[in-house]
Structure 1
Amino acid sequence: MTSFSPVLAPPSLSRRRLLAAGAGLGLQMWGSRVLAASSRRKFVLVILRGAADGLSITPPVADGDYVALRRELAITEAALPLDGDFGLHPELKTVHRLMGAGQGRFAPAVAMPAAGRSHFEAQDRLEAAAGNDVSSGWLNRAMAALGGGSTPEGLSVGPVAPLVMRGDLATSSWSPGRTVETAARLPMLVQDLYADDPLLGPALARGLKTEVLAQANLARLAADLPDASGTMNSAKLSRTLLGDNRDAGRLGGAVAGFMREDEGADVVAVSLDGFDTHANQAGALSRRLAYLDALLAGLQGGLGGGWRETVVLVVTEFGRTARVNGTSGTDHGTASTALLLGGGLKAGGLIGDWPTLQESRLFENRDLASTTDLRSLFKGVLADHLGLERRTLDTTVFPDSAQARPIFGLV
C-alpha cells in the first residue's frame, strides 16, 4: 500500500474548506461510526422518485375498468404477460425474464400510511418510516439493528445520500459523474490532515475506499466502451453513466462491482429520478422504465453467482391517478406497484390483494386504493433475508408499527 507523508495545510486552507473540497469530489460519509465486516446476503433498494405509475408498470389487463379509465395510456396488447390478470410494461423485459424464472414478484397496490400527495412529504415518510420523525432512515436503522460482526456495509448511489440510508450507522455514498481525477492528491492530503481525528479520520478513510472501488470498476467498464476517439477513460464513463439511458446497464454493473468486493457493499440504495409524468406520460415513462430495466440487467449480470444471495426491492413514494388528465398524463395518486426481484426468492406472483378499479373502490374517487402497507413488505424482506426479529422491526426499525404485520415467506 502506498504511504503518504503528513502534510500541513497552509494558513489560508482551513479545515472547513478542505472538507468542502472533499465533498465536492464525491467523498460523502454519513453517520458517526465504522461498520463491521460484511455478510454474504445482499439487499438493494431502488427508489423511483417522482411517483411512478403502477398502473403502467403492472397494468391490470383483466380489470374491466382499466381501459375506460386509462384511455390512450392503457397498456393491453403490448403488455408482457404475467398471470392473465396482470402484465408488465413492455420496456421491463429483464423484469419479465426474472419473473418467468421464479425470481420476481410484484405488489400492485402498495402505499405508506398517510403518505399524502406531496413528493417531499411522501418521500420522507417512505424513507424515514417513523411518522413525523425524519432524523434517520429505516434502512440505516435496520443495518444498525443487526449489530456485532454481522453489521453490513451500506452504500448510496445517486446525487445525494437518501434519507433512507442516513442515521447513526456510517455508510458510504457514490455519485456517478463525480471523480477525483481532476485533483488526485487532494483526498490524500485531507486524509493525512485528519488521520488522528477519531471522527473524521475513519470517515475519510471510508470515502477514499469507496472512491478507489469506483475508479477500479469504472476502469474495467471503460475498456468495453470506446468513444469517438477510440478511448474512454473512467471520468468520461462516469459522466456517461449519469446521463445516458443506453448505458444504464453499465451503471448496474458498476454497482455490482461494489457489491462483489470482499469488503464491499452489502446494502445499497439507488435513487432514480424522472417519474413525475403529468404530461405525455407514455413516452417519458417508457424511457425511464427502459433505464431501470437495463440497470437491473447490469446488476444481475455483474453479480454473477452472487445474484442467488441478493434481493432487490423497487418502490416509489406514491402512485398516480386512475384517470388520465387533460395532457395525456396522470397526477399524484395513492397506491402504486412494488417489484421484488432476486435469485433467492420463493416462486410466486402477486403479493397482496387487488382492490379493483371500480369507481366505488377508488380512493377519494380518483386513486387506486392501497391494500398493502409498504412497511409490511419491508419487514418481510428484512426478516426473511437479513434475519431481523419481529420485535426489532416493530419497535426500532419501524417505530410503533406492530399493526403492519410482516409478509413472510417471500425469500
Structure 2
Amino acid sequence: HRDIKPGNILIAKGANIKLADFGISGLAADESDAPQPDNDKIKKISSAKIIQQQITQTNVALGTPSYMAPEQIYDSSSVDQRADIYALGIMLYEMITGKKPFEGNSLQERYAVIKKGKYKKASSETPGTPSVVNRLITKMIAFDPDKRFSSVEEISNIAESYLKQYNEKDIRQQLANSMARSGAYNYKELVKPNSRRNKAIAIICALGIAGGLGYYAYKEGYIHRTILRPWYTPVTLHLDMPTARSQDADLPSRAFFYKNDNDQIPELENCRRVFEIKNSSDHDAEFRTADIRPVYLKPGEYRVKIATGPYVWWSSFTVGKTAIDAHLNHLMNTSRKITFNTAAVDVQTGKDITANCRFQIETAKGLQDISAVKGNLSSGQVCRIHVTCDGYEEEYFGLLIDWYQDEVFINAAMRKK
C-alpha cells in the first residue's frame, strides 16, 4: 500500500474497517500479463504507468512522512509489506498514547530519531497497556525490516489470541459509539465478560468438586467417623452364607435400616447397604462371609432387614456409644424342602401328555416316583430325574439344586419312538 495512515482507514457501518487510497500502491499484475485496454481507458492506464514509474524510481520517497518506514524515506522502490507493518505499528502506538513515537521537523531529523530506536513505551505513556501490545509495537516499528513481522497474519494471530478474553461485539459497539460522538476510544473501559465467565466457571467447578468430595466423604462415612464421631456410632454387619454350588450363582444380599419408633418404622436415608463377599474366589469353601460398609447411627432403637434373594430376615437392635460389629448366620440352615412341578408335552403335536408320563427320581433305594418322596427332598444336592411314557423316548434331567432353591419346574419334551 505504501501509505498506511489514519486518513486512509475508514470505519463503515457496524464498525467494519476499510482501507482506502491505493493510489501509490504497487500494481499487482505484471504489465505483460495484463489484458490490452480499449481506447476509452488509455488515459487511466497511462496515469497508472506514471505512478508505477514514480514508485519504482530510485531515491524517491512516496507516502506520509509520519508513518513512513525508514527504508521508505530514501528509497520507495525496494519496500515491501514490512513497510506497511511499520506504519500499522506507528498507528497502534498513536491510538494508545495519543502521540507518535518518533518526532522530527524534517525527514532527515525523523530518520535520525528512528535509527536510534529510542522512544517511550506505550505503557509508559498510558499505564495499564498490556505487555503483549508493547511487544507488538516494538517488533512492528523496528528500524531493521528483517526484525519486524514478515506478514500481517502473524500480527493478526497474536491480536486475535489476546482479544479472546474480550467480547468482540462489545468492542465493535463501543468503537462505533465513540466514532459517532467523536470521543476517544479507551480500551481500559472495556469489560472482560469472557474473563468473568471463566472465573465464574472456575468457581462453579471448584464448588462442584468440593461438594462432590464432601458428599463422597459423607456417604463413605468419613465425616461421621471423624468430625461427627461423638454423636454417631458405627454399625457393621457380617453375613455368613452358604457357597453357591453353581458358578457365580450367589444371591445378592442387602441390608435396610429403620428407625424403631413403634409406629411408622421409617427407613433411614443413605443407609442401604449391599453385602460384599470377601473370599469370592474360594468356591470350594462351604460358607462365605459377606460384609457391608459401616452405617453410622445416633444412639437409639433400630431395626434391620436383611434380604437375600427371596428370603427376608428382620431383627431389632439398640445403638449406644459403643461400636456394633455383628455376625449374622440365619442362612446357615440350608436344608430346604423342595417342591417339584412337572409337565410333559408331545414335541410333534404339542399335546399335553403329563397324565400319561411317569416322573421318577434316583434315590438310595433306586428309582422312586417324585410324588412318593415328596417332602423328603432337600436343597443343596444333585437330583437325577427320569421321565418315561409308553411309545415315547425316555427323557433324563440332571439338576443341581442350590442351597436357596426350594421349587423346581420340569417341562419334558417327549419324542415318539
Q: Look at both structures and tell me which one has the larger radius of gyration over its CA atoms.
A: 2
Structure 2 length-normalised TM: 0.20
Higher helix share: 1
Larger RCO (CA within 8 A; separation ≥ 6): 1
Higher strand share: 2
